[in-house]
Amino acid sequence: MKKLILMGRSESGKTTLKQALNGEKVHYYKTQYVHYNDVLIDTPGEYAQTKHLGYALALYAYEADVVGLLVAATESYTLFPPNITCMVNRDVIGIVTKINEPGANIPLAEQWLRNSGCRTIFRVDSVTGEGVRDILDYLQ
């Protein structure tokens, strides 16, 4: 199975998705440091939100086969600039989370990910499990 690194701002659903992908019981906790396991790297949102910590994401991306950019469908803006995916020599996928939340704007979140350069985009609700199997199949 390919190793996936999850990147996105705080509360975009990275850790919840990690739990769903691992078949764990989903419960909220704040990721304080980079979590590694055999197939997933979960990163704190502050790494994507802070210029100096962002450099660490570039280094951690080399430890993965696939980079997953997460945008919650409930977000009012994106951190990912246009064409950012060309900066990484790995597959980069987009993952729209929180698709069943009230006020979710899935088309906007998908557009942000397309603008950033993602060609493959998954829609996920980590709590219900919707879309989780699709990501696992992609990583096989």
For residue 36, give the CATH number of its domain.
3.40.50.300
Q: Is residue 116 part of a domain?
A: yes
Phi (first) and psi of residue 79, to 5 degrees: -85, -20
The residues, any chain, with a CB within 8 Å of residue 101's CB and separated by 6 or more, are: 72, 73, 74
Specify the pLDDT at position 111.
97
Specify the pLDDT at position 40.
92
Q: Is residue 140 part of a domain?
A: no
Specify the pLDDT at position 25.
86
Q: Is residue 21 part of a domain?
A: yes
**Joined tokens for residue 104:** 């979710």
Q: Is residue 128 part of a domain?
A: no
Number of domains in the chain: 1
Q: Is residue 131 part of a domain?
A: no
Domain of residue 42 covers: 4-66+73-122
* Helical H segments across 4-128, by residue range: 14-21, 45-49, 51-61, 106-116
Q: Is residue 32 part of a domain?
A: yes
Buried b (16+ CB within 10 A) or exposed e, 18-45: bbbbeeeeeeeeebeeeeeeebbbbbbb
Q: Is residue 90 part of a domain?
A: yes
Q: Is residue 137 part of a domain?
A: no
Radius of gyration, CA atoms only, the chain: 13
d(CA 29, CA 42): 12
Specify the pLDDT at position 44.
80
Per-residue pLDDT of the chain (140 residues; tens, 9 = 90+): 999 999 999 889 989 999 999 888 886 766 666 778 888 998 887 777 777 677 777 777 888 999 999 999 999 999 888 888 887 888 999 999 999 999 999 999 999 999 999 999 999 999 999 999 999 999 99
d(CA 58, CA 50): 13
